[in-house]
A and B are shown apart, each in its own frame.
Chain A
């Protein structure tokens, strides 16, 4: 079976900047795929190209074996879109909006079922203008699912939710994925991608800088992280760091060591400090979180942080 979404070498020029700069990935049926990245990384642009809302500069894009740019109503009948930037008629009630938009699809989900799914039962006959922000996002979600789609695009589905609503939003996405749909979600929340996604692609400056399961991404950081600070007065730390086997990230005198041999490296560090009678402030050993990997990926890709290897004219 061909993938639900296949993107290859996607480029999108937005005049002055490149929103997508050679993006490639695939999403299989039944898979939850997260595009993770900071604001402005190109997540929304990528998703809008896949939905057919925007044209691309170059590259190949297939969604359900269709090119979204030239697709018609039969394509949109099979996709569901939950966008950040699309509103709902504030004068309508929840039920009216679901019935009106549902009627456009060939296999609409019954309104009552949707209302129950997004837990808007007590608000079913309330005008949308009277709903709270979180409730509006939930009807957004319901409207994205009203056509029983094969592929669902969720653009930052829980932005603006309180923690409890967020948890419920996640349960909803998990239920979607269990129904053999492909779900492509964008988020800037790490915990969201870690909880929901089968696979994650980290997008920064229009490029995918890492891709894999959350566990694979976490593994990129080594099995342990040793952090400590050395006092200002001490001699240069090169003889301390020389024999360390892991990767060293030094920020002034705050040192982080990513290592696959935490026992040996820690023994060396503490030995060095004890010899000199030093106390290492904030000494910790921890398992690196996805956040550590993410920050190193995203910050490492900032143009100002690195000399540009391939300056654009």
Chain B
């Protein structure tokens, strides 16, 4: 346990020293909430949650987007980059257990996701009068934990499938962004949205994450407001991600240019 804690702390330290990661995981989603409410106003409209303010719609969705981005993209890209730099290979040659190292990376991603969600919800409640209720807080917490865990597993799967950083980054963006558009995150789905888009969104975990979290904040839902079937879909994705990672994860740097790869990355960094 102390090993895991130590690994998570060092990963957190590295995260805060990587401003670009901190920007995309934390600042960017909050910026979107500010911009969306500034552009569309904060009036009531007919949404999946019933007639609520636009901030009541956007806050849970963007909170979940921040969580998915810091787990799925964050963990996937971090591990792909560590592998490319030969850091994973170094770790593999030390007595540090693999579970502790990977666990540290995952927990650090989940910790950043927690900060992102707390910041988003706090901003929503304080600045835009978004509704949260103590009785539905357990549903919010459980939904967050299940969602963050499944996106962390998908992040491990991403790092297993993508061999390098230069493939991990576009793969993460090319999956997360389009799916966010069909998952009631950036664009509210109305009654006239094509049914097949709705169905397509149902396949992926992001929509379930967002709607389950949103339902737990919805002023019209009854406590405890657990969306069990949505949690179930996320758990299936968790299993898929974990299975891919268990089969495909590799610690050795890609052998494109053999031993020169490290020197090239160092030269590029210098």
Find A53's partner among B87, B93, B259 (CB 8 Å cutoff): B93
For A76, give its contact among B10, B95, B253 (CB under 8 Å).
B95
Chain B residues positioned under 8 Å from A104 (CB to CB): 3, 94-96
Contact A91 B89 (CB under 8 A): no
A85 touches B89 (CB 8 A): yes
In the complex, A133 has a CB within 8 A of chain B: yes
Q: What 0/1 pattern do residues 103 to 146 of A give for CB contact below 8 A with B?
A: 11110000000000000000000010100110010000001000
B157 at the interface (CB under 8 A from A): no
Known: A100-B6, A100-B10, A143-B90. A87 touches B95 (CB 8 A): no
A51 within 8 A of B: yes
A73 within 8 A of B: yes
Interface magnitude class on chain B: 20 to 34
Report A90-108 CB contacts with B as 1/0, cut-off 8 Å: 1110001000110111100
Residue A88 CB within 8 A of the other chain: yes
Contact partners of B87 in chain A: CB under 8 A: 86-89
- Minimum Cβ distance to chain B for residue A275 (Å): 56
Q: Does A77 contact B (CB under 8 A)?
A: yes
Q: Which of A207-265 contact B (CB under 8 A)?
A: none
**A52 CB within 8 Å of chain B:** yes
B97 within 8 A of A: yes
Q: In the complex, A302→B18 CA distance in Å?
A: 48
0 or 1 for each of A68-85: is its CB under 8 Å from B? (1 = yes): 000001101101010111
Q: Is the CB of A101 within 8 A of B17?
A: no
Interface residue A147 (Cβ < 8 Å from any Cβ of B)? yes
Q: How many of A's residues come within 8 Å of B, CB to CB?
A: 35
Interface status of A187 (Cβ within 8 A of chain B): no
* A84–B257 alpha-carbon span in the complex (Å): 13
User: Knowing A87-B86, A96-B10, A100-B6 touch, does A147 contact B93 (C-beta < 8 A)?
Assistant: no
Q: B95 to A147, Cβ gap below 8 A?
A: yes
Count CB-based A-B contacts (< 8 Å): 88
B14 touching A91 by the CB < 8 A rule?
yes
In whole angstroms, how far apart are the Cα atoms of A129 and B14 in the complex? 12
Shortest Cβ distance from A74 into B: residue: B95
Which residues of B10-29 have CB atoms within 8 Å of chain A's CB atoms? 10, 13-14, 17-18
Q: Which residues of A have CB within 8 Å of B95?
A: 73-74, 76-77, 104-106, 147
CB neighbours (8 Å) of A133 from chain B are 263, 266, 270
Instruction: Confirm or deny: A29 has a beta carbon within 8 angstroms of a beta carbon on chain B.
Output: no
- Interface positions, chain B 133-184, Cβ under 8 Å from A, are none
A142 to B234, CA, bound (A): 44
Query: In the bound complex, how far is the Cα of B6 from the Cα of A284, in angstroms?
Result: 64
**Distance (Å) between the CB of B73 and the closest chain A CB?**
18
Question: How near does chain A come to B270, taking the closest CB pair, in angstroms?
Answer: 8
| Chain A proximity mask over B92-136: 1 for CB below 8 Å, otherwise 0 | 111111000000000000000000000000000000000000000
- For A77, the chain B residues whose CB sits under 8 A away are 95
Assembly CA distance A148 to B83 (angstroms) = 26
Pick the 7 closest A-B CB pairs, nearest first: A87-B85, A104-B96, A86-B90, A87-B86, A73-B95, A86-B86, A91-B17
17 example contacts (A-B, Cβ-Cβ < 8 A) are as follows: A73-B96, A83-B86, A86-B93, A87-B85, A87-B262, A88-B87, A89-B10, A90-B269, A91-B14, A91-B17, A96-B13, A100-B10, A101-B94, A103-B6, A106-B95, A127-B17, A133-B270
Binding site for A on B (CB under 8 A): 3, 6, 10, 13-14, 17-18, 82, 85-87, 89-90, 92-97, 252-253, 258-259, 261-263, 265-266, 269-270
Q: Which residues of A line the B interface, CB within 8 A?
A: 44, 51-53, 73-74, 76-77, 79, 81, 83-92, 96, 100-101, 103-106, 127, 129, 132-133, 136, 143, 147, 160
